[in-house]
Amino acid sequence: MTARLRQDAIVRSLRRNGTSTVADLAGEVGASRRTVLRDIKALRDEGFVIHSEPGRGGGLQLDPQSVQTTARLSVAEVFALLISVASMRAAASLPFSGLADAGLAKIERALPSDKLRDLRRFLDCLYVGQLSPQVDISDMGAMDPALLPAFETAFLQRRHLRIQYRDAKEAVTNRNVEPQAMLILPPLWYLVAWDPARKGFRHFRMDRISRPEIDEDATFQRRHVPFENHVRPIRDLSR
């Protein structure tokens, strides 16, 4: 029995029995009283809240609110969770958004610092809003997640992006644009980009974009994107 397994057993026992004494736990997990006390200290160091009462009738009690879980997530999964929860908050205020945000903030903090920096920089480009109820979205396509890496690279390295765009009239054009922001109006995503040829901002619906290519040579400066009041940066939501 390794230390880790024994500590898990102690947590399970406390959870099951409510209150236990050190001696009981020692008998249960087959270790000495001293070792159980060391384990209790280790668990407290890890963040478990364990109340204790000395004296006759005393004992140990695991704070039920502190029951915890650890999971190992990839950066892509964290990203997906962030977007989902932030979009949800924008679309409909749920009673749990505070808790979900707190959970996400913990996950985010645990990211390795270099990935965290990239993720934050990309999240800074993301804005969420709400589609006006009049729009019929039943026939709209979903964006292809396979497109995302190209966009992420273009944003982070501030490279020009070549895309093929099919507009509302089905006319197909080729563009070379500066990606400035991504706007999420669930379920639609828009690329907000400065079009140098037209000297103006354009919104491109992501499900109408195909064949994105990074222009390796040209870089650009960030511009201030004029968003309306009901569009909010996603970063505010995940803090």
Partner DNA sequence: CGAATGGTGCTAAATTTTGACACCATTGAA
Partner DNA sequence: TTCAATGGTGTCAAAATTTAGCACCATTCG
> Contact between 22 and DNA (CB under 7 A)?
yes
> Contact between 38 and DNA (CB under 7 A)?
yes
> Contact between 81 and a copy of itself (CB under 8 A)?
yes
Choose the contact partner of 55 out of DNA, a copy of itself, none; CB within 5 to 8 A by kind.
Answer: DNA
**Which of left, alpha, beta for 55 (phi over 0: left; psi -120 to 50: alpha)?**
left
Q: Which of 54, 55, 57, 133 binds a copy of itself (CB under 8 A)?
A: 133
Q: How far apart are CA 213 and CA 110, in angstroms?
A: 32
> Contact between 98 and DNA (CB under 7 A)?
no
* Total binding residues toward a copy of itself, as defined by CB under 8 A: 60
What track of x and - describes contact with DNA for positions 117 through 156 (by CB under 7 A)? ----------------------------------------
> Contact between 3 and DNA (CB under 7 A)?
yes
> Contact between 77 and a copy of itself (CB under 8 A)?
yes
Q: How far is the CB of 87 from DNA (least distance, A)?
A: 41
Q: Within 13 Å and on the Cβ side, how many CA atoms surround 149?
A: 3
| Residue 237 neighbours by CB distance under 10 Å | 21
Q: Report DSSP letters for 75-114, one per residue.
A: HHHHHHHHHHHHHHHHH---TTHHHHHHHHHHHHHTS-HH
Residues in contact with DNA by the rule CB under 7 A: 1-3, 6, 20-23, 30-35, 37-38, 40-41, 52-60
Using CB under 8 A, list all residues that contact a copy of itself. Answer: 11-12, 15-16, 46-47, 65-81, 83-85, 87-89, 91-100, 102-104, 106-107, 109-112, 114-115, 133, 137, 142-145, 148, 186-187, 189
